[in-house]
Structure 1
């Protein structure tokens, strides 16, 4: 029979809260929606393990849920369990297979590509990929993979029947990030999540199990729904028209744009937001993030000075919970190891809607050797094939990528848009790149509003983030052209206030007339 791996419970009696028995907790978990149970007992003698397994088997049979035994093939055979889960240092799969009944389930823990490839050769039924998050449940023998590291392992399963669950630190507050981020570029997704302490250590295992199962089910349905939708056929004309429409939404809705941004450009960014018709709030205290997530239109995280990491982490997590757009600007990410590690931590913690950066920054994020970074700037001629670069990075990060420079490139992983507006004076003022991020966040807020007003979905959707990114870039670059051509602009000192003026005076018809767009399929 096909196995539903969506909510895979791994037991741990040492985690039970005071006053709760193992059997009571397990039954509440099963009632709440657990679909597979793995009994893990590391520090007990065989007789005690056998008794726990026997009780677990009876309860799982009552709820028609498969029972898996961790490590011990003898215990699995003794209680007629449905299968075993093996670690990398446990009994080899082929020996376990020879001892177990023909229809027994065998799963294996995997931490790297070599493990996954061996599991495929061994013809296992499923793999447990992890640890995905840091966890205190057990001492980690393998490095944390991170959400973004799961996709490459899932890609190895393409064309096989092997199922996959994520394990290690998975909780209700990071479940959506785990599910969305743990997907291969080809769209291969997890078949379930394995949970330990979130359920076992809870005083309300029924409620938390139900929440986890419902969240997984809703995400799975939403993913299928999005996959079934016909892709948007972008053209230069309908893209420009879409941007013009978003400008009207900004003016009528005045979205709140929460910005944790580069202290060098805070004032310019706030003024640019106001000029476009939105409202800025430059809040950094971690204590404010949950409340702000409920009212913001979009979140911009620009870590040019990397001084508010705690606020950035929480702001992104709460914005994800509210399904609000997040624009990430990894300023100077290639300059230091600290910045690279911080970017990885942020992107593993929350899902960005748009990642915006210059060639040096995005090259560092993609671990490309094709371009080099010099502080916050990129040096050299750039990418030989920028269209494919942004498309591939968008697929890997599962978001829109905006590559800024003399020519701007934007992709959602399917469509690539080439933009040729702008003026060299934009590169001669501090914070022009930061202001691009501000403008993108403002247009993404409008795209979010549009999507959730027109279709009224059952759960909030982010909207057309490709259009939001294109709109933000066009707004600043077209305003930059207009500012540079003013008679009162004589250099970078007079250019900045003129740029804010032109953002303020920018009209949809100007974008329709001036935008230089090429859509590449």
Structure 2
């Protein structure tokens, strides 16, 4: 068995955004969210220094004990230093092969916005892809939503676990799961909720229900 692996699908990846915590701590948000069904967590705070990111990563690592993978956005150095399970790179990050080499065996995920980018990511050795923004998102202002149809097209061309992100809610998660996504990447739906546990539970339930409607896709690579 590989040292690093993803949980069984459907995947519910919760991404940090400390600007949305209000008077709550990171633990106030993530402990109940994990109890509600989150099975992956990602540290994405692009304005933090490497030192501060490492501190946040160590806090998340403590919360993620018990098999919940910790993903670090963009920063391979922080991922390695914090003993994270994965790094999530974008078009401006290290290329996938370089990230894999520098990451010392950790999983490398890649943000993609087209079939061509997804195919290239797979050929480069990515372990999973994140398609975003699928729907309108405050984190992707000025970018047109890609839509569930692109999720379906990408899933038909690559043989990697695929997460859909950007504007995902409990009300639309079934669309991306039905289109072939192995899970979702979310921020606002859970982090912005007054009840992160309930928000996570609603999302997890919506995905599980949608999963049962796509028997031909149920045998995931995840």
Asked if TM exceeds 0.5, the reply is yes
> How big is the shift at 1:91?
0.7
Work out whether 1:176 is the aligned partner of 2:174.
yes
Work out whether 1:22 is the aligned partner of 2:23.
no
Work out whether 1:34 is the aligned partner of 2:25.
no
CA RMSD of aligned residues (A): 1.8
Larger radius of gyration: 1
Higher relative contact order (CA 8 A, sep 6+): 2
Q: Secondary structure at the match of 2:55?
A: helix
1:57 aligns to what? 61
Asked if structure 1 preserves the Cα contact closer than 8 Å seen for 2:133 and 2:140, the reply is no
Asked if structure 2 preserves the Cα contact closer than 8 Å seen for 1:20 and 1:203, the reply is no
Structure 2: how far apart are the matches of 1:226 and 1:72?
32
1:134 aligned residue (129, 133, 136): 136
1:465 aligns to what? none
Structure 1: how far apart are the matches of 2:174 and 2:90?
26
Q: Hey, which bits of structure 1, 4+ residues long, moved more than 3 A?
A: none
> How big is the shift at 1:226?
10
Work out whether 1:146 is the aligned partner of 2:147.
yes
1:82 aligned residue (76, 80, 85): 85
2:209 aligns to what? 218
Deviation string 1:452-489 (CA, Å, 9 cap, x unpaired) is xxxxxxxxxxxxxxxxxxxxxxxxxxxxxxxxxxxxxx
Asked if structure 1 preserves the Cα contact closer than 8 Å seen for 2:12 and 2:183, the reply is yes
Asked if structure 2 preserves the Cα contact closer than 8 Å seen for 1:126 and 1:164, the reply is yes
Work out whether 1:66 is the aligned partner of 2:69.
yes
Asked if structure 2 preserves the Cα contact closer than 8 Å seen for 1:137 and 1:197, the reply is no
Shift of the 76–137 alpha-carbon distance from structure 1 to 2, 3 Å rule, reads: same
2:188 aligns to what? 197
- Where does structure 1 lack aligned partners over 5 or more consecutive residues? 183-188, 228-521
1:94 aligned residue (93, 97, 118): 97
Asked if structure 1 preserves the Cα contact closer than 8 Å seen for 2:114 and 2:150, the reply is no
2:121 aligned residue (115, 119, 122): 119
2:47 aligns to what? 43
1:163 aligns to what? 161
Structure 2: how far apart are the matches of 1:155 and 1:209?
28
TM-score w.r.t. the length of structure 2 is 0.89
Please list, as runs of the form range in 1=range in 2, the aligned pairs for 1:502-521 lying within 5 A after superposition.
Answer: none
Structure 2: how far apart are the matches of 1:39 and 1:133?
21
Q: Secondary structure at the match of 1:37?
A: strand
Q: Which has the higher helix share?
A: 1
Please list, as runs of the form range in 1=range in 2, the aligned pairs for 1:275-294 lying within 5 A after superposition.
Answer: none
Work out whether 1:7 is the aligned partner of 2:7.
no
> How big is the shift at 1:123?
1.5
